[in-house]
Chain A
């Protein structure tokens, strides 16, 4: 089971302020039974100075959800609403002497319940701005939504990029497969294919070696590209699709996917498959980019 701190266990076995409060001045409900975590935070507030005079909770959830709720009520009692709002989820986790990475969302839920309760007291509508995805990197507790957003915001291309921006994947390497899947999906949104780079940068090899394929004549190069396209067509036609070559610009090969292929979820897989085949046949790196039929290479970029 989890390696919970003694403080977490203490707050779970003997939770503080666990009760329904019938005459609450503020109620903050967060979570849902689907996720397996739900918390109701109730507050008594002194109107004259907006001070929290009492706090109570009811929680449906695991050990750390109950412990986070319990410690939260202890932290905020006696604070003004504004002071309470400065409490972060890290404060909650710290007060519990830490939480396992998979369980940090329990502390987040505590903070959100607090925001919801304060909004309720002030007659405001609290909007949840936190979307949580499946935990991808367990070493640094980074979830899928965080990785997706960071890739989009920064145009990331490689697992190494993702590690540099989010730390995800910088530890045990177990989540690299998951990160590559996210990269493939997100890049496919803009019609780009994810190209797996060779593993980590070699310490003794800073410069990329010259690839043998650079010696091909332009004619020979285009011929080979066409040959790869021709080779995959029968397979795509079987699935009522097709592919044609649009243009070649430097190391970028523009292709057009039609019929059942275009827009299909498998499109990105098809594109990466073609790209892989071309890289092997040409002996050089090329990026395969799907574009609408007839578009000029420049317009696609």
Chain B
């Protein structure tokens, strides 16, 4: 943030501000009603009742049939691990997993690890717009229907916002007698859902992506789905997730879910309009830039723009200096050698993949802020291109091979 100017936060797919009303709902549970919900005395049993209310608030946002289908966890990653490992443990004769190459690391790294330890993983690829091929998916389900323990596919991609046809994919899995899990961390609160009418067996969500605090998540487990807990111990969450409840955060998550239901229309109209304007104006002002992902079928709050011939971290640092927070899929921001696996999976060329910037909005942004970002971005891109050996006077150098020929590549 610079000077007196208030910072503009466009990184809501990373995490969100906890809504002040959520904080207010949580506060009594730190000092006044601090009891353990498992206790008999009045310090505790009062708390148990409020947990039930929070469970119903989550149930309502998801459109789940029963409140007992909601299991509170510590985060989205825990929910993902619980779901996939449970499916494998509950069906030891099934050793295969189906997932996509663009999952969040919470699923991706786990599946890579399981692959090293003797499981077979079928990786669904995406096309240049980040879309899945359902014919390939159907083929895998048919060929390996007796070996697949679980299909795990994200509802919406965190980097591009691209939405996958989850309900259809869940039905296809169900028809083949295969369990279906979805990492819906980015989708919950942005896409209306009615899980009672879907074939989704398990769904992960994370509190801090929808204005609840960090450190709380949910695993939705459809009644009748075979299950094995990840954490064993006490009877909390009906023995499905041991460990004393993170009471205040669970209450906060309940409140945030209630508010998300109320704001669903705003998200899909006003927030979407701000996102659309941001993208349209930046692309109009900056040459050699394009939006990545399936732009017709995206989360309403997300756009990911690739700026060619410059590097993402440098863009972020200059944006940050201008008081604007966003994120990048460049290798440098993560300290790895490759740009984001999502950009690589979509075959975004290296000249652009390192310069991808994700803007993710929330209902707290204003059109006035968006106008300021539209003003700020073009000169930042121009400034970095002026430094780039791949950029000439007015555009990319014509023959990079000849004009810029490094000794090693």
Chain A residues engaging chain B, CB cutoff 8 angstroms = 1, 9, 12-13, 15, 18, 29-40, 58-66, 100, 102-103, 112, 116, 126-128, 132, 134-135, 138
In the complex, chain A residues whose CB is within 8 Å of the CB of B330: 36, 62
Q: Does B256 contact A (CB under 8 A)?
A: no
| Most chain A CB atoms below 10 A, which of B312, B406, B409 | B406
Q: Name B407's contact: one of A30, A64, A100, A138 (CB within 8 Å).
A: A30
Q: Does B333 contact A (CB under 8 A)?
A: yes
Q: Interface stretch among B247-255, B281-289, B314-322? A: B314-322
Q: Name A60's contact: one of B316, B317, B320, B388 (CB within 8 Å).
A: B388
Q: Name B408's contact: one of A1, A15, A63, A128 (CB within 8 Å).
A: A128
Q: Does B102 contact A (CB under 8 A)?
A: no
In whole Å, how far is B373's beta carbon from the nearest beta carbon of chain A?
18
Give the top 4 A-B pairs by smallest Cβ distance, nearest first. Answer: A102-B335, A62-B332, A62-B313, A58-B389
- A38 and B333 contacting across the interface, CB-CB below 8 Å: no
> Which residue on chain A has the smallest CB distance to residue B404?
A29
- A29 and B339 contacting across the interface, CB-CB below 8 Å: no
- B335 and A62 contacting across the interface, CB-CB below 8 Å: no
In whole Å, how far is B208's beta carbon from the nearest beta carbon of chain A?
18
- A31 and B406 contacting across the interface, CB-CB below 8 Å: yes
Query: What are 21 A-B interface contacts by the 8 Å CB criterion?
Result: A1-B313, A18-B387, A29-B389, A29-B406, A30-B406, A30-B407, A32-B408, A33-B350, A36-B332, A36-B354, A38-B390, A60-B310, A61-B332, A62-B311, A62-B330, A63-B313, A64-B332, A65-B311, A100-B335, A103-B335, A134-B336
Q: Does B5 contact A (CB under 8 A)?
A: no
Chain B residues engaging chain A, CB cutoff 8 angstroms = 309-314, 316-318, 320-321, 330-333, 335-337, 339, 350-351, 354, 386-390, 400, 404-409
Report Cα–Cα, A34/B343, bound state, in Å.
13
> Which residue on chain B has the smallest CB distance to residue A132?
B337
- B390 and A33 contacting across the interface, CB-CB below 8 Å: yes
In whole Å, how far is B395's beta carbon from the nearest beta carbon of chain A?
14
Report Cα–Cα, A249/B330, bound state, in Å.
53
In the complex, chain A residues whose CB is within 8 Å of the CB of B314: 12, 61-63, 66
Report Cα–Cα, A62/B311, bound state, in Å.
6
- A58 and B407 contacting across the interface, CB-CB below 8 Å: no
In the complex, chain B residues whose CB is within 8 Å of the CB of A58: 387-389
In whole Å, how far is A36's beta carbon from the nearest beta carbon of chain B?
4
Known contacts A13-B317, A58-B387, then 16 further A-B pairs from the complex at CB < 8 Å, ordered by chain A residue: A15-B387, A32-B409, A33-B351, A34-B350, A36-B311, A36-B330, A36-B331, A38-B389, A38-B404, A39-B389, A59-B387, A64-B332, A66-B387, A126-B407, A128-B408, A134-B336
Report Cα–Cα, A35/B354, bound state, in Å.
9
- B321 and A13 contacting across the interface, CB-CB below 8 Å: yes
In whole Å, how far is B228's beta carbon from the nearest beta carbon of chain A?
24
In whole Å, how far is B256's beta carbon from the nearest beta carbon of chain A?
26
> Which residue on chain A has the smallest CB distance to residue B312?
A62
Report Cα–Cα, A18/B384, bound state, in Å.
10
Q: Name B335's contact: one of A32, A33, A116, A135 (CB within 8 Å).
A: A135
In the complex, chain A residues whose CB is within 8 Å of the CB of B316: 1
Report Cα–Cα, A65/B388, bound state, in Å.
11
